[in-house]
A and B are shown apart, each in its own frame.
Chain A
Amino acid sequence: MRKVPWFGGAVVAALGVTAVMALVVAPPDVNQGDAQRLLYLHVPSAWVAYLAFGVTAIASILYLLPRTRSITWDLLAGASAEVGVLFTGLCLAVGSIWAKPIWGAWWAWDARLTTTAILFFLYLGYLTLRRAGGSPDQRAKRSAIAALVAFVDVPVVHFSVNWFTTLHQQGTVFNNKMHVEIHGSMATTLLISVAAFTLLYAYLVVRRMSLLELEEGLEEREIAQAIAERLAQEGVDAHAGIQMETV
């Protein structure tokens, strides 16, 4: 994979603009004050998480189809899932920090929160499975199937959790859904923030993929080196054996 020196710079610049917009330009919320600024972290993280898992699913399908099978799809699926888990975690953490002052609790058993938490562990399991060993081909096939099975589970989880929270208990803090009418500089800031995070996602995936490729190359080189050393050793032994015989 080629190096793209301007890419990192562009990401840093975009995140810088986002920070200025979110912290300085956008006004504090009428009801929530400065706490609402967490929106500019929370929503883009959630977006990147969904984007990342979508990319993982598509890349997994492309790996499984014989016509498009290539180890690159597997690396893309893995890299994207890693970034996805990272941003799901970030989304949950930021959400919790936001919820404490606004709802008065770190966590509410809302459908979306619960689904996101399960999603986090679903893909954490996927990442663990990727690291469980085997040849690259075995790992790729296994994890592609696991990614699809997990992806199919997401709507079922969402549906059941939705039902569970609406039928079982009406949220006490959550009843009046805050429909924040968002406009003006707030909307612009959110838009810029989503764009910046998407850029960051692309950057992290590209870097992670090249790192995965290097790791694989390193493994192959180590094996090649070990074979070469072993052959050299055998050569020495054979040579010594011949000498012994002649003596």
Chain B
Amino acid sequence: MSEFWRESALVMGKDLRIEMRSRVAMQQIAAFGTIVLLLFAFALDPSRGLLPRVAPGLFWVTVLLSALLAISRAFTVETENGALDGLRLAGIDAAAVFLGKAAAIAVQLLALEVVLAFGVFLLYDVSVVGLIALIPAAVAATAGIAAAGTVYGALAGGLRQRETLIPLLLLPVLAPVMIGGTRAFETALDGTTSQAWPWVQLLAVFAVLYVTMGVLTFGSLLEDS
């Protein structure tokens, strides 16, 4: 079993090392997310005080859009130079590949969320309260996005139309994360932290469900593409 976790960590380390050297997520995707935050402010007339009220929803929409880019990127990396064949030939357990890739995406998304949260704090005039609920909600939502994203990324990853397919496949699936994340953040920022917990639980259930799906199906998905 320890071998399994070591393999997962290897795959995760590989993806994070690629990111450390290319800095696509931290430079391009974070910049993209911040621009989206600015665009929302233009669309919603910042002077009327609407932004603080809708900030949780806007934050999660921005995270989802950025996540699409990060997930596409995670599988573009594998299509170049026959990298996926290398991964298969390395004899690593498919479930370990899944966990490793999902964990790498989750780590990048969490870093991205810190940047975006700072942006929301600065630009939308949101005062941060209820961190005790905000952080678990963000972690659970991110785990769900990363797990579902890795399953669908692998489904569409080997296909030529993946750039357009991944958003179409993934966004409806992530609707519960969008709803749960937004409501958890709203209630936490309102100061009614106790009402945030059911939503955090929903996010956790979603994450567990998709991690299980990924562990079960990734073997056939890797074989296939």
Tell whether A38 is near chain B: CB-to-CB under 8 Å: no
Q: Which of A64, A118, A121, A149 is the most central at the interface, judged by chain B CB atoms within 10 Å of its CB?
A: A149
Once bound together, how far apart are the Cα atoms of A2 and B225, in whole Å?
34
Known A121-B171, A132-B161; contact A163-B224, beta-carbon cutoff 8 A: no
Closest 3 CB pairs of A and B: A160-B176, A121-B172, A125-B169
Q: Mark B161-174, 1 if CB is under 8 A from A, else 0.
A: 10001001101110
Q: Does A145 sit within 8 A of B, measured CB to CB?
A: yes
**Contact for A132 among B156, B217, B224, CB less than 8 A:** B156
Question: Could you tell me the distance between the alpha carbons of A118 and B174 in the complex, rounded to whole angstroms?
Answer: 10
Residues of B with C-beta under 8 A to A142: 155, 221, 224-225
Q: List 27 A-B contacts (CB under 8 A).
A: A118-B175, A121-B172, A124-B168, A125-B165, A125-B169, A134-B158, A134-B159, A138-B224, A142-B221, A142-B224, A145-B220, A145-B221, A146-B152, A148-B217, A149-B152, A150-B173, A152-B213, A156-B176, A156-B206, A159-B176, A159-B202, A160-B175, A160-B176, A160-B202, A163-B179, A163-B202, A164-B179
Q: Interface residue count for B (Cβ, 8 Å)?
A: 30
A161 with B175: in contact, given A145-B220, A168-B183 (CB under 8 Å)?
yes
For this complex, into which size category does the number of interface residues on chain A fall? 20 to 34
- What CA separation (Å) do A157 and B173 show in the bound complex? 8
Which chain A positions have C-beta within 8 A of B169? 125-126, 128-129, 146
Do the beta carbons of A125 and B168 come within 8 Å of each other? yes
Q: Which residues of B contact A (CB under 8 A)?
A: 151-152, 155-156, 158-161, 165, 168-169, 171-173, 175-176, 179-180, 183, 198, 202, 205-206, 209, 213, 217, 220-221, 224-225
